[in-house]
Amino acid sequence: MKKATAEFLGTFILVFFGVGSAVLMGSHVGMQGIAIAFGLSIVAAAYGLGAISGAHLNPAVSLGVLLAGRMSAAEFLTYVVAQILGAIVGAFAIYVIATGKADYAIATNGLGQNGFGPGYNGGYSMGAALVFETVATFLFVTVILGVTGAGAPAGFAGLAIGLTLTGIHLVGIDVTGVSVNPARSIGPALFVGGTALAQLWLFIVAPLVGGALAGIAHRAGLTSAEA
């Protein structure tokens, strides 16, 4: 229960900082500011809650950890449920705050949802979105498994993971808004509905595939210092 609570709160922090920056401050801080906010959310949660649960905050990360042999299937399911609930509550909190502005409308302004195609950011194709989300998640989970494994410098994991997520956002916000995290995508999409909900499958499938590949590669010794 303690680990589940930590994952819930950590994912709430991720969505509140990251999605919140996009919805409430996007026009002021731009894509670079949003990228930094997502990275800082990981740093905050990792150092604040990481000692309890490892601060996965992401079903794709938990899947990678599971396939790398570092957690049980039962624990994986508990983490995923907590992460999704944390993302939903985080998105709801941002929505409630956003509605306090007179000219906000979720149909027009959105809720930091992920997407692709005409009308969304750079208008990138589904194929481009699929490749970006898979590759970016693979790299993200590979870094996480590496910096939390044997031989990694102690005390720097949270910073390394946060900076990696920042870098991923600097590359891909214009492509998909950056998910690399099914929970982060599910939260806003449930409130926005429509196209966001119709495209949600990609932001569940691609990150899970990327996370799984990273876990398998790590367990095989390809990306692990422990092998």
Is residue 156 over pLDDT 80?
yes
The DSSP string of 128-178 is: HHHHHHHHHHHHHHHHHHHHTSTTSPTT-HHHHHHHHHHHHHHHHHHHHS-
What pTM was estimated for this model as a whole?
0.94
The structural domains of the chain, with segments of one domain joined by +, span 1-220
Each residue's pLDDT tens digit, 181-222: 999 999 999 999 999 999 999 999 999 999 999 999 999 888
Q: Which two tokens stand for residue 66?
A: 């599971």
- CB contact at 8 A, 76 and 2: no
150: pLDDT strictly greater than 80: no
CA 55-58-60 angle, 5° bins: 125
The CATH superfamily assigned to 1-220 is Glycerol uptake facilitator protein. (1.20.1080.10)
Q: What is the mean predicted confidence (pLDDT) over 120-139? A: 97
CA distance 22 to 214: 28
Q: Report the alpha-carbon distance of residue 4 to residue 120 in Å, rounded.
A: 34
The count of other CB atoms within 10 Å of the CB of residue 125 is 12
Q: How far is CA 43 from the centre of its chain?
A: 13
Whole-number Å distance between alpha carbons of 44 and 140: 17
Task: Supply 109's token pair.
Answer: 């302004």
How much is the mean pLDDT over the chain?
95
pLDDT at 227 over 80: no
**What are the pLDDT digits (tens) for 82-95?**
999 999 999 999 99
Q: Alpha-carbon distance 73 to 95, whole Å?
A: 33
| Backbone torsions φ then ψ of 200, nearest 5 degrees | -60, -30
Reduced to 3 states, what is the DSSP secondary structure of residue 104?
Answer: coil
